[in-house]
Amino acid sequence: MKYKKINQSLFIENRNRFTAQMKPNSIAIFYSNDQMTRSGDSHFKYRQNSDLFYLTGLNQEEIVLVLFPDCPKGKQFKEIIYTKQSNDHIAIWEGHKYTKNDVTSISGIDKVLWTEEMPSLMNELILLADTIYLNSNENDRAVCDYPSRNIRNALNLRKEYVGHNFERSQNILKSLRMIKSNYEIDLLQKASNITENAFRKVLKTTKPGMMEYEVEANIIYEFTRQGSSGHAYIPIIASGKNACVLHYTDNNKLLVDGDLLLMDFGAEYANYAADLSRTIPVNGRFTKRQKSVYNAVLKVKKESEYLLVPGNNLTDYHKEVGKIMESELIGLGLLSREEVLVQDPAKPLYKKYFMHGTSHHLGLDVHDLCHRYAEFEEGMVFTCEPGIYIPKENIGVRIEDDLVVTSGRPINLMENIPIEVEEIESIMNAKITV
């Protein structure tokens, strides 16, 4: 992989935290992601299942993790990794695959077997257990049109072992993955630092007459140069009216003098995601109106950060952010106090100009696994990304940073990334040819 080796203590601790919440005499089984066909006989770039990576650090296809903390067969069977065995043909066509020593070195799991050895031993272990933990994608916004390897095997297990009890691994993982360890926060910080360097490159190179995809090219160049595996999600490089399309990803329009450029992108490093939004003037200078809207969004972001504290929750948090946004929209002349006073509380007027949420969990997934209604706790990592979108004025502004919840004010992982109007203009007008 491109990233530096991660301390295996991260994955050992993650497994210990997971197994501590398993029911007595239970077994948990996790499968790696499939290789997905792109076209013909070619595949998309491989991305590991986030849960399997969280528990092992392994970034290869055809891997199975088995956890059986109460296994009566012996302590060496409490943790098992199955991985495919390489051969001369695979080595020639695909390159290096994990050896058993590689797997142990990365994950901290000593019992490593080849996948050919899996059927007979797995059957014995399952028959020794009373309960089987199955894993699936429980992101409540996920839309999956095909059954993953976890789902396919879960269906087979339910069919074959009808007398067993079955439990959801995700219910445990949601609680665990919401709280980031210091190891994880360090990896998120690295992803943010790479993202910062990419944004600074954008500030120094963007000018009227460029195409949106040229800006994207400068971003991916900096990502690749610094060991990122690439974009943590499909980037939004939206100029002019495109900035008012929340999930605009065509990135193929001309940058016009006088327009704003809204960018939403983030580097992935060691499978951990950064998530940044910034809005800049294409020509390096905000107009008076653009600056007013930008500073309104920035004010909402700064005040919203103070609400990311232990004991709060996303439902109440978003209501409070909405009140802050209402005040700013009144100041911009987009809403009046009178109409806000008589608005339908179920359909707040601010949503005409700010129609998305302000924060979401961040980690191995950009919209990270979570219990949506859980109270905020120390160690949670959230984005904070208010925006104002005014299609009639050709203005769309979104500003976003990534923050760690603490007992006091959140830690901003992106605190060094330019955000103030004056800093953005200063860097853009001191351009260096790159």
Distance, in Å, from the CA atom of 108 to the CA atom of 128, rounded to the nearest integer, reads: 24
Q: Assign domain 182-428 to a CATH class.
A: alpha beta
pLDDT at 434 over 50: no
Token match 């860097």: residue? 427
Sign, Cα dihedral of 109, 110, 114, 116:
negative
What percent of the chain has a predicted confidence (pLDDT) above 90?
89
In this prediction, residue 142 has a pLDDT band, given cuts at 50, 70 and 90, of confident
pLDDT tens profile 44-85: 899 999 999 999 999 999 999 999 999 999 999 999 999 999
Annotate 231-255 with three-state secondary structure. Answer: ECCCCEEEEHHHHHCCCCCCCCCEC
Q: What CATH topology corresponds to 9-178?
A: Creatine Amidinohydrolase; Chain A, domain 1 (3.40.350)
Do strands 111-114 and 381-384 pair parallel, antiparallel, or not at all (unpaired)? unpaired
pLDDT mean over 283-288: 98
Is the distance from CB of 178 to CB of 364 less than 8 angstroms?
no
CA distances from 271 to 37, 232, 363 (A): 21, 8, 9
Residue 361's DSSP bridge partners are 382
Is the distance from CB of 321 to CB of 344 less than 8 angstroms?
no
Q: Report the pLDDT value the prediction gives residue 299, as an integer from 0 to 100.
A: 98
pLDDT tens profile 181-214: 999 999 999 999 999 999 999 999 999 999 999 9
Q: Report the pLDDT value the prediction gives residue 143, as an integer from 0 to 100.
A: 78
Q: What does the mean pLDDT of the chain come to?
A: 95
pLDDT mean over 216-234: 96
Around Cβ 220, how many Cβ atoms within 10 Å? Answer: 16
pLDDT tens profile 153-173: 999 999 999 999 999 999 999
Q: Report the pLDDT value the prediction gives residue 146, as an integer from 0 to 100.
A: 78
pLDDT at 433 over 60: no
**Helical spans, DSSP H, in 239-362:** 288-305, 314-331, 337-341
- 165-198 as b/e: b if 16+ CB within 10 A: eebebbebbbbbbbebeebbbebbbbbbbbbbbb
Question: Which residue has better confidence, 148 or 199?
Answer: 199
Is the distance from CB of 28 to CB of 133 less than 8 angstroms?
yes
E strand intervals along 115-159: 131-134
For the chain, domain boundaries: 9-178, 182-428
pLDDT tens profile 2-37: 888 999 999 999 999 999 999 999 999 999 999 888
Q: Report the pLDDT value the prediction gives residue 178, as an integer from 0 to 100.
A: 97
Q: Report the pLDDT value the prediction gives residue 367, as an integer from 0 to 100.
A: 96
Distance, in Å, from the CA atom of 411 to the CA atom of 389, rounded to the nearest integer, reads: 28
Q: Report the pLDDT value the prediction gives residue 432, as an integer from 0 to 100.
A: 53
At residue 101, φ and ψ (nearest 5 deg) are -65, -40
Token output for 90: 């695979």
Confirm whether pTM is higher than 0.75.
yes
pLDDT at 368 over 50: yes
In this prediction, residue 431 has a pLDDT band, given cuts at 50, 70 and 90, of low
Q: Residue 39 in 3-state DSSP?
A: strand
